[in-house]
Amino acid sequence: MKILPKAKRLPNGTVCHTRNVRMTSDEVIEVKHYAANEQESFSWFLHAMAIRGLEDYKRELATYQ
């Protein structure tokens, strides 16, 4: 029997909204691959990448101001 990692919880007061994302089959395969390497779920990994991309975007905007 496979032992699953402990579920990660959102901090108190955090509101969670479900959003749909369109991805190609190749993108889905790639995200699943990296998520598996990190031993995380598809959605957790996709969320982490979105946050990482947002931070990079904000950093990039700051360099132009």
Domain boundaries, given as residue ranges, for the chain: 25-64
User: What is d(CA 47, CA 50) in angstroms, rounded to the nearest whole number?
Assistant: 5
The pLDDT assigned to 16 comes to 74
CB atoms within 10 A of CB 63: 6
pLDDT of residue 42: 94
Stretches in the chain below the pLDDT threshold 70 = 1-2, 4-10
pLDDT at position 59 is 93
Per-residue model confidence (pLDDT) at position 4 = 67
